[in-house]
């Protein structure tokens, strides 16, 4: 480099510094997140205003039976023997089976003895470790490994707690509650998962806390779900750390009201090993937090560090070329709210798409935050702290914290539909019995009038009969038992049938 050029450079640098300096003469406005206004939006419980829930499953007022499962026994056999209200305790040992809980109020607890856990081992052959569809299910203290599908999967069970499980190298999802309301996922250690370590799918009122998720494609995923809080988790060494998004083409269309706060989101740079075609297969390695088409997402108090693509990526569906089209699905991320976060060394080896967006703002180097696509009503606190691109239209948030919100769980559990006995009787009679019985005349079974003549004033006897029918008439087929109806419904339908007038 010759002297002339050096001189020119010095002049340019001096001039540049002078210009920048003159622009930055006023001190930046620093908004303290201590004190100040708390978030006033979000889930507003209706009936139990001001009551914040302790957990997702109400404490039992009376303890049912305890079923002890020992090494060599079958856990499923114990589930089948258990009644709602019972607890199953599984002693340390190796259990290679799929456990499914199709009843309510079962607590399935591993017993940890001197660090030894009840281990469910899928041997690389079995599909899922634990499936549940009942409400008020608790699953604790297991070690789960080598299943091909999911570690723990919920289908429409409400009020669930999944706690203190170690899930290693297990298929598609480690923990996957789906289509449920009111659930707590906490203190689990999940690693080596081909899709998401913890995946909340199409659910409402969820709390994910104090989990360690690592070496997976996605750490924690909140997908097509509402009113979820993700806090105090450690998401490290995944492809992407924490995700809140809408997958188009699913029947529940929105993700709204998600608080991601006080998590560690560190070094999520693992090369993407998701299955081809899966939604997460499009996540660039080095993603700290990803918001895609989700609305009302608050990102607060996280330590986001060492994620090579970006600390926070906010985008819309148009940037995801591998996902389907859904006219019912709003593609934009609206009202993203970024409060104070500690962001260090993110975006140090970012992808071409982020570089391209950055260049439009003449930004080079590290990237803490990148927002691509349109967005309405987004805001940020202390924007001067971050190496950010695409947030020009973010306003200043009018709150600095979410301190007023402990969780979004439903105090006392998700409401159950209340059906009056008379309605229950009509539903069961018309929904089931009318296939074989009409009021007058024979269908497949005798007429209601004939039945009324036999059981007048005695619904108890009719209940007894429908529970265990015996063949009474030679020229009629035998009646199938209706013992799957609960006692309340059986009595309701017997009473209803005996009172029918046409």
Q: Which residues bind another protein (CB under 8 A)?
A: 80, 98, 100, 102-103, 127-128, 131, 133, 148-150, 153, 155-157, 171-173, 176, 179-181, 202-204, 247, 249-252, 275-279, 322-327, 414-417, 419, 424, 426-432, 434-436, 438, 480-481, 483-486, 489
Q: How far is the CB of 48 from another protein (least distance, A)?
A: 18
Q: Find the shortest distance in angstroms from Cβ 324 to another protein.
A: 5
CB of 453 to another protein, least distance (A): 21
* Minimum distance from residue 381 beta carbon to another protein (Å): 32
- Residue closer to another protein (CB basis): 96 or 262: 96
Strand partners, 204: 181, 226
The structure tokens listed for 240 are 């992407």
Choose between 147 and 394: whose C-beta lies nearer to another protein: 147
Task: Give 184 or 369: the residue with its C-beta nearer to another protein.
Answer: 184
Report CA 483 to chain centroid distance, whole Å.
34
CA angle 331, 336, 339 (to 5 degrees): 165
Report the residue number, 138 or 179, with the smaller CB distance to another protein: 179
- CA 366, chain centre distance (Å): 32
d(CA 332, CA 375): 6
Strand, helix or coil for residue 174 = strand
Beta strand spans in 233-338 (E):
234-236, 240-245, 256-261, 264-266, 287-292, 295-300, 303-305, 310-315, 336-338
CB 93, min distance to another protein, A: 22
Report CA-CA distances (Å) from 455 to 280, 424, 448, 469.
Answer: 61, 20, 10, 14
Residue 484 beta carbon to another protein: minimum distance, rounded to whole angstroms: 3
Please, how many CA atoms are within 13 Å of residue 427, restricted to the half-sphere of its CB? Answer: 12
Cβ of residue 204: shortest distance to another protein, in angstroms? Answer: 6
Burial degree of 118 (CB within 10 A; 0-12, 13-18, 19+): buried
The distance of closest approach from Cβ of residue 170 to another protein in the complex, given in angstroms and rounded to an integer, is: 10
Instruction: For the CB of residue 483, give the shortest distance to another protein in the complex, in Å.
Output: 6
Cβ proximity to another protein: between 249 and 412 the closer is 249
Q: Give the residue with the Cβ less far from another protein, 59 or 418.
A: 418
In angstroms, the Cα distances linking 171 to 40, 133, 234, 299 are 39, 20, 21, 29
Separation between Cα atoms, residue 144 and residue 134, nearest integer Å: 21
Tell me the C-alpha distance between 233 and 211, whole Å: 5
CA 465 – CA 443 distance, rounded (Å): 19
Estimate the crossing angle of helix 448-455 against helix 487-499, to 10 degrees: 100
- The DSSP string of 112-158 is -BTTB-EEEE-TTT-S-SEEE-SSSEEEESEEEE--SSEEEEEES--
Cβ closest to another protein, residue 252 vs residue 454: 252
Q: How far is the CB of 366 from another protein (least distance, A)?
A: 32
Nearer to another protein among residue 248 and residue 311 (C-beta): 248
Helices (H), 300-387: 352-360
Contact at 8 Å (CB) between 107 and 141? no
Nearest distance from C-beta of residue 342 to another protein, angstroms: 34
User: Which residue's CB is nearer to another protein, number 114 or number 501?
Assistant: 501
Nearer to another protein by Cβ, of 17 and 124: the residue is 124
Please say whether the dihedral angle defined by the alpha carbons of residues 437, 441, 444 and 446, taken in this order, is positive or negative: positive
Whichever of 291 and 323 has its CB closer to another protein, that residue is: 323
Q: Which two tokens stand for residue 106?
A: 């079962």
Residues, the chain: 502
Nearer to another protein, 205 or 302 (CB): 205
Query: Which of 181, 317, 197, 296 lies closest to 247 in space, CA to CA?
Result: 317
Token output for 273 = 């090993």
Q: How far is the CB of 410 from another protein (least distance, A)?
A: 13
Q: What is the CA radius of gyration of the chain?
A: 29
């Amino acid at each position: 480099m010759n002297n002339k050029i050096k001189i020119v450079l010095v002049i340019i640098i001096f001039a540049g510094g002078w210009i920048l300096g003159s622009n930055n003469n006023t001190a930046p406005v620093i908004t303290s997140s201590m004190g100040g206004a708390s978030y006033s939006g979000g889930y507003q419980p209706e009936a139990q205003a001001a009551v914040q829930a302790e957990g997702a499953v109400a404490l039992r007022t009376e303890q049912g039976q305890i079923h002890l499962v020992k090494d060599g026994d079958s856990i499923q056999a114990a589930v089948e023997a258990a009644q709602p209200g019972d607890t199953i305790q599984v002693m340390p040992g190796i259990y290679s089976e799929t456990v499914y809980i199709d009843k309510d109020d079962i607590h399935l607890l591993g017993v940890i003895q001197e660090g030894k856990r009840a281990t469910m081992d899928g041997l690389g052959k079995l599909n899922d470790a634990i499936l549940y569809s009942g409400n008020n299910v608790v699953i604790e203290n297991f070690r789960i490994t080598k299943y091909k599908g999911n570690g723990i999967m919920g289908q429409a069970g409400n009020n669930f707690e999944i706690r203190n499980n170690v899930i290693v190298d297990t298929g598609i999802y480690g923990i996957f509650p789906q289509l449920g309301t009111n659930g707590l996922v906490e203190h689990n250690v999940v690693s080596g998962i081909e899709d998401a370590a913890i995946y909340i799918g199409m659910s409402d009122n969820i709390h994910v806390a104090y989990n360690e998720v690592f070496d997976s494609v996605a750490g924690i995923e909140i997908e097509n779900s509402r009113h979820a809080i993700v806090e105090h988790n450690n998401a490290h060494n995944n492809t992407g750390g924490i995700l809140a998004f809408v997958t188009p083409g699913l029947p529940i269309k929105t993700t709204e009201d998600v608080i991601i706060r006080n998590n560690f989101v560190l070094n999520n740079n693992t090369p993407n090993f998701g299955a081809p075609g899966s939604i997460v297969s499009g996540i660039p390695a080095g993603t700290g937090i990803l918001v895609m088409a989700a609305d009302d997402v608050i990102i607060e108090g996280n330590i986001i560090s060492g994620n090579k693509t970006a600390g926070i990526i906010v985008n819309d569906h148009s940037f995801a070329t591998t996902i389907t089209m859904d006219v019912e699905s709003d593609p934009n991320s609206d009202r993203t709210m970024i409060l104070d976060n500690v962001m260090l060394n993110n975006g140090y080896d970012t992808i071409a798409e982020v570089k391209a967006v950055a260049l439009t703002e003449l930004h080079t180097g590290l990237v803490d935050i990148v927002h691509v696509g349109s967005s309405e009503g987004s805001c940020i606190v202390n924007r001067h702290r971050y190496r950010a691109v695409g947030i020009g239209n973010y306003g200043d948030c009018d709150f600095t914290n979410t301190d007023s919100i402990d969780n979004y769980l439903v105090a006392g559990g998700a409401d159950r539909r209340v059906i009056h006995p008379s309605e229950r009787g009509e539903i069961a009679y018309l929904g089931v019995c009318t296939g074989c019985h009409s009021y007058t005349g024979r269908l497949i079974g005798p007429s209601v009038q004939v039945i009324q003549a036999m059981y007048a004033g005695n619904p108890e006897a009719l209940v007894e009969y429908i529970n265990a029918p015996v063949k009474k008439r030679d020229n009629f087929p035998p009646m199938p038992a209706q013992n799957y109806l609960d006692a309340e419904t059986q009595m309701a339908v017997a009473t209803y049938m005996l009172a029918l007038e046409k």
